[in-house]
Amino acid sequence: MKSSYNRHRDSVSSEMVLQSPLLVAFPWLVHGFTTRRGGVSHIASADANSDRNSHNDLNLGRVNWDSAQNVSENRKRLLAHLHAEEMQLVTLRQIHSDLIRVVDSSIPSTGDGLMTAVPGYLLSILVADCLPILLVDAKERVAAALHCGWRGTARRLAEKGVGLMRLLFGSQPRDLRAAIGPGIRVCCYNVGEDVKEEIEGQFLYARKLFVRRSKSHTSSEAKYTRLFTTYKTIEQSTNSPKLYLDLVLANIYQLCDAGLSRGRIYAEFPCTSCHPELFFSHRRDAGRTGRMMGVIGIREGTDSR
């Protein structure tokens, strides 16, 4: 399946929210992955001629370069864009853990996953390279948002999310859908040996998740990978200096191990690091960047099952 980004490259560059074709089929569901477009914040590019020196950044996180007033306005714009003004936006203080909090009548404060079967809550995950993963039980109407960086991935957060849905709500894998949002991809995600060792200590398939190359791809190289380089597994190449982690593939494997079929996992969004015109990236921008959101929730007043 081709990504909506690739199929609509000209129009998507101005979009505030990207959506998964697997999830838009459910009218009772609100979901999306924000870009950096459509806000009131401003973070200047190092390049004075860059079109990123405009005042329309949609920063949704509390960062030291932006004001609380801007962030509040950006969040209001997001809710309006999703026609979700009446929903309560739920955020967490994220700590790169495997803690998944269930939202019912109380609002949790800390963790890296949110889950609910209660209409009216819009669950959110803040990201700037880590993967936002959205889970839906289409039959029982349960929604979850997960923050999967490499630490959350190593702690099997996506797999545990499916397990918790099954335990608490009786979800069956055949009824689940997952969308892995924009994040840093293997073209750009250079990691150290410590990450490799931790991942290898958790997964039998770990060696399939790493490649070695002399450098990361430029944006042009990322678009036309086969013209510039061939990915090599660690078994094929051990002398190249840099190691890259395929975080997307790691979470696809986890979701499949948890029982989802590959056809019910959408993972075709582009790399955040490769697209400064569209995404914030903590890695690319050396920490001085904004935050995007993956959001999901159940609309109130929708038809019963």
CATH code, domain with 104: 3.60.140.10
**Residue 128 counted as domain residue:** yes
Residue for token digits 């079929």? 261
Q: Is the Cα dihedral 299, 142, 19, 87 positive or negative?
A: positive
What percent of the chain lies above the pLDDT cut of 70? 83
Check whether residue 177 and residue 223 sit in a common domain: no
Check whether residue 39 and residue 168 sit in a common domain: yes
**Residue 125 counted as domain residue:** yes
**Residue 9 counted as domain residue:** no
Name the helix (H) or strand (E) containing 212.
Answer: strand 210-213
| pLDDT for position 32 | 98
How do residues 257-293 score in pLDDT, each as one tens digit?
999 999 999 999 999 999 999 999 999 999 999 999 9
Check whether residue 63 and residue 197 sit in a common domain: no
Q: Is 224 a residue whose pLDDT tops 50?
A: no
Check whether residue 68 and residue 209 sit in a common domain: no
Decide: 229 and 222 in contact? Cβ < 8 Å: no
- For the chain, first and last CA: distance in Å? 29
Check whether residue 215 and residue 122 sit in a common domain: no
Decide: 243 and 155 in contact? Cβ < 8 Å: no
Q: How many domains does the chain have?
A: 2
* CB environment 135-149: b (16+ within 10 A), e (fewer): bbbbebbbbbbbbbb
C-alpha–C-alpha distance, residues 113 and 148, integer Å? 9
- Which of 162, 258, 163, 243 has the alpha carbon at shortest distance from 200? 243
**Residue 12 counted as domain residue:** no
**Residue 304 counted as domain residue:** no
Check whether residue 100 and residue 233 sit in a common domain: no
Check whether residue 111 and residue 161 sit in a common domain: yes
Tell me the H-state helices in the chain. 4-7, 9-12, 68-81, 150-154, 157-169, 193-200, 219-223, 225-228, 247-257
**Residue 3 counted as domain residue:** no
| pLDDT for position 1 | 37
Coil/strand/helix, residue 161: helix
**Residue 43 counted as domain residue:** yes
C-alpha of 55 from chain center: 24
Check whether residue 43 and residue 142 sit in a common domain: yes
How do residues 9-34 score in pLDDT, each as one tens digit?
444 456 999 999 999 999 999 999 99
Check whether residue 202 and residue 153 sit in a common domain: no
Decide: 19 and 266 in contact? Cβ < 8 Å: no
**Residue 11 counted as domain residue:** no
Check whether residue 179 and residue 192 sit in a common domain: no
The residue segments making up the domain with residue 287 are 19-183+267-298
Check whether residue 49 and residue 164 sit in a common domain: yes
The DSSP bridge partners found for residue 101 are 114
Check whether residue 232 and residue 280 sit in a common domain: no
* Two tokens, residue 119: 């209409």
